[in-house]
Amino acid sequence: MKWKALFVTLLISIAVTSCKQSSKILPDHCPLKVCTPSIANQRTAKIICPNGLQLLIISHPGISNSGAALAVKTGNSSDPQDFPGLAHLTEHCVFLGNAKYPDTDGFSHFLSNNNGVYNAYTSSYTTRFLFSIKNSAFIEAIDQFVHLFIHPLFRQEDIDREKHAVHQEFSMHLNQDLRRVHRIQQLIAPKGHPLQRFVCGNASTLAQVQAQDMHQWFHQHYHPENMIAVIHTAETLEKAIKIFPKIFAQIPSKKNPRHPTLSSVDDYLSSGKLYINAAVEPTASMQVYWHLYTTSQAPIGCYAALSYILKHEATDSLVYLLKKEKLITELDSGFYKTSDNTVNFTIYYQLTEKGEREYSRVLLHTFAYLHQIQKQGIPEHCLKDITTMNTLEYCYSSNTNLFTTLWEQISDLIDEDITTYPYHSLVYPEYSSEEEHSILKTLSDPSQARYVLSTNHPAHWQEALQHHDRIFDMVYYEKSLPDLQAYQEADAQGRMALPQPNMYIPKNIEVANVSKTDMEGFPFLPRLAYQDQGLTFYYCEDNFYTTPKLTINLRIRSPKISRKNLRSLIAIDLCSLAINETLVKQYYLAAQAGLSFSTSLRGDGLNLEITGYTTTIPILLKSILSSFTPSIDKDKFDMQKQQLLEIYQRKISECPIRAGVDQLWSYTLHDVYSYQDKLASLKTMDFEEVDNFVKNLFDRLHVDTLVLGPPSQQQEQELISIVKDFVSCYPQYDAGCFYYQRQEQEISDINIDYPLLGNAMLLVLQDRHSSSMDHVVATEMMFTWLHHIAFSHLRTEQQLGYVVGASYHEPLLCPSGILYIRSNAYTPQELVMKTKAFIQNVAASVEDFGMSESYFSDLKDAYIKNITHPTCTLESMGSTLFSLAFEKASVRFSLPNEKIAAAKNMNYADFKVYCQEFLNQKLGSEIPVYIHGKES
């Protein structure tokens, strides 16, 4: 009855705007169909609402949550000259109340009360908003969502407070070399180019923004003719078509003109120059990029094919040659739009120490390759292979996180006609020979490229011109490229290889017959398929994702690998780097055709994770295992050691919160080491030590395996046979179970020095009295609630930091969780003190912070649904099941269903008492972690 009343209210509220016009249903010109059984019954409608807004409706009655996304086709490149960052600040402030829903945190509270989440993002030419929520609250949520874009209040006190949040976000960028390089790209961009603007905003650039400035900018750009939206709903398509276009039609039309098309600008000021970022991170890199102008979508296919060629890693390719000469460890290439008709095409190199010294040789090989492509042309099969794989991935997509799906869909809808969507986002339009010739002419001309080197070696800028950027408060450098003419004349003489047609692209894909899963319980139940002294093999039939893919986790255990021996663990990290490099070299085409693979240290073993299509993965698994012999190349050892040193250094410095968690684990768990410990030990290791370790690694082994894939007895037996053949090549032993264990001593606090700007704190709350299932489930649910209220009170109201939240923390091996804050405005001690005060207030009266019997009931329902309808990927679920099989004191496949049972039996009174005892530290003492950032 309540729902019906709400529905009538909504219809009345929109009658005024929709009575004179009706929605128009557009034809669907996309020929692609989803074949995966779990989502094949979804239906779509493409609508133009009465106010001109384009709306894609996706109806899926079996969906576990509903959601929506809306994009404004304007971003930070349209910021007023006086207020850099205004688009970003406006994105923050539209959430802070409007004429119909005036509460500052009304929308966020409604979402948190109904298992919802939201986010927003501002790019150069778009601003995107999205949320998901439980099905029963979706219609009310969509009305609140739409009203974010109707008469926002933009109260001055809210704007001023949110300026601090934007500044905190900006402050994080100062520690990231990619952001610093991007800032240099802004500073050297041609006059009038969309990239030229400082886009984030900070306390200085936004200080003078008044409410009327934001209202003016909002009314100029936030109108339905400049918007597009997508919704996912459990309603039938017929009902959805009647309801949702009318709600979106409430956004008032303004008939404002679209943005003018940008004309090509001749820019000679940065031509032939090398710009240098004085790096704050350990890894050296270089970006080469081009500003391109286009008037149609057709060249997108040409850019995609060129990126595909440049990233190609087969023998004699550009990447192969640069790695062979030990100049790079990684190359990436791509393109992104900066406005309706401007594109940046980029090549990114992660440099070795040699590559950092000889970056000019990297550029010489690159332009030789580009000149060869210019002479030979782009092979036709490149674009065909790309579009074939894009089509396969769409047609056999699966149940996944709705939030991620919304993000991907709204990003593509911005650039494609809704009637063909998603066809041209997957099958790129064919480009003409003239377009190809023009693009290749531009990209093969080194004078039209721009170059930014990121390095922390002063030798590179000793004779360079120094510049200072007042916004980032950073120094950067400029000097001429001495070898520009050599790049112009570089000639590979046809010796470098272009990609061949991809023989690994799956053919004759069949979708297995699946059983209907029990939606009342956890939808996965692995079974022991084979076991002997050297092999334990579980197979789990997938009746949930139902995609024609499988994922394999295969852990090789050896007596040589010991958690008691830190150096053995580091040797496995080095070994993994070497194996991954070999696998990429041998199976690069397979990776382009849907196969993913990686090796890494997991627990006390070397883990191989492989995911791919069922038609190709057995053959590839057999091929990989037949040559899977760990080895260390003496010629490459120094480079790989340096690469691992940089990885450890990056882990230490990439985020103060993660650095705090890393130290927390090393203090509280047996045989777990911090990256600081690993870094110190690695520096003392030489080739002989690692080589001796690796040579004896497979003297004896035991293999733990779990496969998650479609029901197929034949496939199961084939995979068992392949792994058995591998194991039989080596002496075997019966390895006991491995699982992490908690140290007994209590930790009062932890202090960490963080090497870059930015303070942080962690506050660990724990139950050391009991790890009963009731306590585990209650703690997990409690921290879901704490995350929402911590963000609201500590971030939105108190503005303690930009990254603020709470999460359950399973690695501590007891019911426990962490509250975390990253901040440039407060010391770690102040952050901990304010967080403790917040927790004390919550413990004193949970009802004052939104907890109630009805909220608890919704929290419990959401908790259970997250188990019965998981939102993680197939790969993540395979890893989770592997952990239940091999990383507990005993096999725990029943654990998810035990949690469901405990949640169902829990009542509000017991939950409330537990929360108060937990938060008052009656069940275990808190552990504050103080992360002290470098002083500016």
**Other beta carbons within 10 Å of 533:** 12
pLDDT at 275: 98
| Residue 16 scores a pLDDT above 60 | no
Residues 287 and 235 in one domain: no
For position 245, what pLDDT does the model report? 98
Q: Tell whether 389 is covered by a domain.
A: yes
CATH number at 82 reads: 3.30.830.10
The reply to whether 735 falls in a domain is no
Tokens of residue 640, six digits: 């790989």
Residues 495-541: pLDDT tens digits? Answer: 899 999 999 999 989 888 776 666 789 999 999 999 999 999 999 99
pLDDT number for residue 517: 62
For residues 591 and 699, state if they share a domain: yes
What is the per-residue pLDDT for 252? 95
Round to whole Å and give the CA distance between 340 and 295. Answer: 8
Question: Looking at residue 21, what is its pLDDT?
Answer: 67
Is residue 266 a part of any domain in this protein? no
Phi, psi of 727 (to 5 degrees): -65, -35
Residues 102 and 15 in one domain: yes
CA 934 to chain centre: 27
Q: Where are the alpha helices (DSSP H) in 526-598?
A: 566-592
pTM: 0.93
Model pLDDT for residues 243-301, shown as the tens digit of each residue:
999 999 999 998 776 666 656 666 678 899 999 999 999 999 999 999 998 866 768 99
User: Among residues 169, 186, 183, 195, which one has the least CA distance to residue 77?
Assistant: 195
Q: Domain count of the chain?
A: 4
Identity of the residue numbered 275 = Y
Above pLDDT 70, what percent of the chain? 96
**Chain-centroid distance, C-alpha 572:** 26
Question: How much is the pLDDT for 604?
Answer: 96
Listed range (123-127, 210-214, 339-343) with the worst mean pLDDT: 339-343
Whether 108 maps to a domain, the answer reads: yes
For residue 219, is it within any domain?
yes
CA separation (Å) from 741 to 52, 665, 668, 808? 60, 11, 9, 18
For residue 61, whether the previous peptide bond is cis, meaning omega lies within 30 degrees of 0, is no
Does 450 lie in the same domain as 559? no
Same domain as 227, residue 98: yes
Domain boundary among 489, 508, 543: 489
Distance between CA atoms of residues 324 and 696, nearest Å: 27
707 or 518: which carries more pLDDT confidence? 707
Mean pLDDT value across residues 718-731: 97
Within 8 A by CB and 6+ apart from 12, the residues are none
Angle (CA) 584 590 591, round 5°: 60
Residue 745, in any domain of the structure: no
Nearest to 412 by CA among 936, 924, 30: 30
Same domain, 793 and 687: no
At residue 787, does pLDDT exceed 60? yes
Which among 659, 693, 727 is the end of a domain? 727
Choose among 249, 270, 624: nearest CA to 467.
270
**Separation between Cα atoms, residue 551 and residue 544, nearest integer Å:** 14
Using the predicted structure, report yes or no on whether residue 589 has a pLDDT greater than 80. yes
Q: Nearest CA to 205 among 287, 316, 121, 89?
A: 89
Round to whole Å and give the CA distance between 207 and 200.
13
The answer on 790 and 722 residing in a single domain is no
Q: Identify the domain boundary among 696, 727, 758.
A: 727
The per-residue pLDDT of the chain, averaged, comes to 93
Residue 37: strand, helix, or coil: coil
For residue 412, tell me if it sits in a domain: no
User: Do 569 and 633 contact (CB within 8 A), yes or no?
Assistant: no
> Could you tell me if 586 and 690 lie in one domain?
yes
pLDDT at 903 over 70: yes
Name the nearest CA neighbour of 933 among 771, 755, 772. Answer: 755
Average pLDDT over residues 29-41: 93
> How remote is the C-alpha of 695 from its chain's centroid?
37
Q: What is the pLDDT of residue 511?
A: 86
| Domain coverage including residue 155 | 2-248
Give 530: exposed, middle or buried? Use CB within 10 Å, 0-12, 13-18, 19+.
middle
CA distance 461 to 450: 17
pLDDT at 10 over 60: no
pLDDT of residue 263: 60
Classify 536 as helix, strand or coil: strand
Give CA–CA dist 480/273, Å, rounded.
4
Q: What is the pLDDT of residues 647-698, one digit of tens each?
A: 999 999 999 999 999 999 999 999 999 999 999 999 999 999 999 999 999 9
Burial class (CB in 10 A: 0-12, 13-18, 19+), 124: buried
| Contact of 19 with 38, CB cutoff 8 Å | no
**Domain identity same for 701 and 790:** no
pLDDT for position 448:
95
403 in any annotated domain? no
Is residue 857's pLDDT more than 60? yes
Do 444 and 589 have their domain in common?
no
Q: Are residues 316 and 199 in the same domain?
A: no
pLDDT bin (cut points 50, 70, 90) of residue 122 is very high
Is 214 in the same domain as 295?
Answer: no
For residue 597, what are the β-bridge partners?
A: 610
- Say if residue 560's pLDDT is above 90: yes
Burial 778-801 (b: 16+ CB within 10 A, else e): bbbbbbbbbbbbbbbbbbbebbbb
Can you tell me the distance from the alpha carbon of 45 to that of 829, in angstroms, rounded to the nearest whole number? Answer: 54
Q: Report the range of poorest mean pLDDT among 5-14, 385-394, 730-739.
A: 5-14
Residue pair 39/64 in contact by the 8 Å Cβ criterion: no
pLDDT at residue 401 in the model: 86
